[in-house]
Structure 1
Amino acid sequence: MSPGFVSPEALISWYGPRLASQGFVVMTIETNTLLDQPAARGDQLLAALDYLTGGDSPVRDRVDTGRLAVTGHSMGGGGTLEAARERPGLRAAVPLAPWNLNSDWSAVRTPTMILGAQNDFIAANGLHSEPFYEGLTSAPEKAYAEIANTGHMSFNTPNDVIAKYTIAWMKRYVDDDTRYERFLCPAPSDDPALVEYRDTCPGG
């Protein structure tokens, strides 16, 4: 997982134990520089996966090389999309309030869930998350959830709603656990924590 622009790893560290508690091996990374752009963050996410699955990794025997995923916040979310485009074998991608100057993600062939914040004035949904979702024309499954009463930096503090949908997507597509479809499909239109939800309905 990658943090956002000028953000240290500490701001996203809460995702590590939260995702690990669901059975995932998780690495939250410190980027090479705080100013790294999305493409560089995408490369670093893939480098992290290569390390985890490599011969020198202390957790190598706990990682299934055929079930890998990426996530990140802000420019790290933009990097998540970059990584998914570069490595189509990834099982899932979850960009969080992603920022990127590119909106054409037609080369992404990874199930992707984008989480946006209702009051995001840094990576405004109309300029980033929503066009990115629409640009995922080749993803086998995709979803966009806009979380109520949140801002761009809300992803840097523990949040049950963010965790719920991130975990549900990861469990469904990384673990191929269809029990988690009920959180995603049909669309959770009755969830008061969401302003909007779009999807291609997993499995349907």
Structure 2
Amino acid sequence: MQVHPHTRSRRAGRLAGAAAALAALLGLAGLTGPGAHAADNPYERGPAPTTSSIEAARGPYAVSQTSVSSLLVTGFGGGTIYYPTTTGDGTFGAVAISPGFTAYESSISWLGPRLASQGFVVFTIDTLTTLDQPDSRGRQLLAALDYLTQRSSVRGRVDSSRLGVMGHSMGGGGSLEAAKSRPALQAAIPLTPWNTDKTWPELRTPTLVIGADGDTIAPVATHSEPFYSSLPSGLDRAYLELNGATHFTPNSSNTTIAKYSISWLKRFIDNDTRYEQFLCPLPRPSATIEEYRGNCPHTG
């Protein structure tokens, strides 16, 4: 049977159109496939988060730990490094955590495996003396990060460009000091922080200040709130005031502290926007949150 040239032309056009549609569909599939977002952000680690996954006592990564003797380091008092056991996911961001006045590493040790299991290398440290002031604790946090990235047995697991600091009480004040001294830090989380310096306009590090409504040692009105309010308005910053909490609430396992710390570290150390949903819109007051302030959406 002879096919009219116009019919042949229309058929060819339909075939070409179908081929173009198929190519477009395959292209979209490539953009939305499981590896596409990771290609956009090479620092993404772990599965897509859910509320239950960031509130869980342990995240998706198995964790190992190694002790660091004070005799083997300078500038801080040694500590414990917690890290994801796998070597198949590349390097991880890292965070150093300082205890507070008169306290030891054990007072903040719960954060080690909790954060590491979400995909971070975590260094909970002892200070040179338990009486060290915030400025000294800030220098010690930086010394711990330098040891972690340059000399530690897990240095090959750490991305030295993606680091953060945390601390409790004077250690929290120390985390502000560390961020002031080293603007390249990607995240800071002071926990019921104490410091004689009340203003921090110099900070360039995304900072989440966590206070407690019942804190009588570092009351939020004279510590956490002015710390937060003094941060540059253009900085990614947040203030979380815990409800029904005390100065020592960060010294034991706390789901609210963990949930928002994980989200903050993921968002700013890993640039992982999958965690933005837990920070923006701003969390509302609840049984565990007295108040939450911050900027949304985040710019970093």
TM more than 0.5: yes
Matched, 1:133 2:224: no
- Higher RCO by CA contacts (8 Å cutoff, separation 6 or greater): 1
The aligned counterpart of 2:185 is 90
Does the 8 Å CA contact 1:2/1:30 hold for their aligned counterparts? Answer: yes
Deviation at 1:201, TM superposition (A): 1.7
Match for residue 163 of structure 2 among 48, 51, 68? 68
Distance 2:154 2:289 in 1: 36
In the superposition, relative to structure 1, how do residues 26 and 139 fare at CA in structure 2: closer, same or farther (>3 Å)? Answer: farther
Does the 8 Å CA contact 1:112/1:139 hold for their aligned counterparts? Answer: no
Q: Which runs of 5+ in 1 are unaligned?
A: none
Distance 1:195 1:80 in 2: 23
The aligned counterpart of 2:138 is 42
- Aligned pair count reads 203
Deviation at 1:139, TM superposition (A): 6.0
Secondary structure of the equivalent of 1:5? coil
Deviation at 1:138, TM superposition (A): 6.0
Deviation at 1:118, TM superposition (A): 1.2
Residues 68-108 of structure 1, C-alpha deviations (whole Å, 9 max, x = no match): 00000000000000000000000000000000000121110
Distance 1:6 1:57 in 2: 26
Distance 2:170 2:161 in 1: 26
Matched, 1:195 2:287: no
Give the RMSD, CA atoms, in angstroms. 1.1
Deviation at 1:191, TM superposition (A): 3.8
Distance 1:85 1:99 in 2: 15
Letter in 2 for 1:87: R
Deviation at 1:193, TM superposition (A): 1.6
The aligned counterpart of 2:35 is none
Does the 8 Å CA contact 1:141/1:200 hold for their aligned counterparts? Answer: yes
Letter in 1 for 2:155: R
Residues 9-61 of structure 1, C-alpha deviations (whole Å, 9 max, x = no match): 1111111000100110000000000000000000000000000111x211111
Does the 8 Å CA contact 2:285/2:291 hold for their aligned counterparts? Answer: no
Q: Which runs of 5+ in 2 are unaligned?
A: 1-96
Letter in 1 for 2:127: T
Instruction: Give me the identity figure in percent.
Output: 58
Distance 2:196 2:297 in 1: 28
In the superposition, relative to structure 1, how do residues 202 and 173 fare at CA in structure 2: closer, same or farther (>3 Å)? Answer: farther
Matched, 1:144 2:239: yes
Question: 4+ residue stretches of structure 1 with deviation over 4 A?
Answer: none
